[in-house]
Amino acid sequence: MSKLAFFFMTLVGAVPAGGALYALIQTLLNRADSIGTVLLGVTITATVCAALVVLTPFIVLVFYKDTRLLMAPQPEGAAAGAATAPQKDAGEEGFGDAIPDDFDEEELAGSAEDDDEYGEFDDDAEAYGDDDDLGDYDEEYEEFDEDEEL
């Protein structure tokens, strides 16, 4: 980020802080003798913090150094050569390099079979429990409705 961009970014916060600083200074000048000790300490602390926020853009202008690396100047021939370079096909972008060219399809199919032994259920009735339990619950629920009315 450049020095001026950082300056203007901090200036956005410094402008409202300037208004708050003005109000805090007026409070300290006009009512310092009538407010309590704790409130006076809070007001002084807020005044110091607001003053630091107001001064931040100017501190940036004085002390900020841009640490980005500067690009070396390109010769004119290199820029023209880069423009004529072939573009990559859209199908090669994304996850094209995630799967190596020499992967083993048998190993992949074998690993899919291993998933079943770690808690995957078949569509058997034994895997999901007995359906008779649900019938008992339905009967009890109907008896409840018939016996009591709210």
This model's pTM is above 0.75: no
Check the CA dihedral 78-79-80-85 and report its sign.
positive
Tokens 């009967």, residue?
Answer: 139
Rg (CA), the chain: 36
Q: What is the pLDDT of residue 81?
A: 53
Q: What is the pLDDT along the chain (150 residues), one digit of tens a residue?
A: 788 889 999 999 999 999 999 999 999 999 989 999 999 999 999 999 999 999 999 999 999 887 777 777 777 766 555 555 555 555 556 666 666 777 777 777 777 765 555 555 555 555 555 555 555 555 656 665 565 555
Residues 12-49 as b or e (16 or more Cβ within 10 Å = b): eebeebeeebeebeebeeeeeeeeeeeebeebeeebee
Q: What is the pLDDT of residue 109?
A: 76
Two structure tokens written together for 46:
């807020």
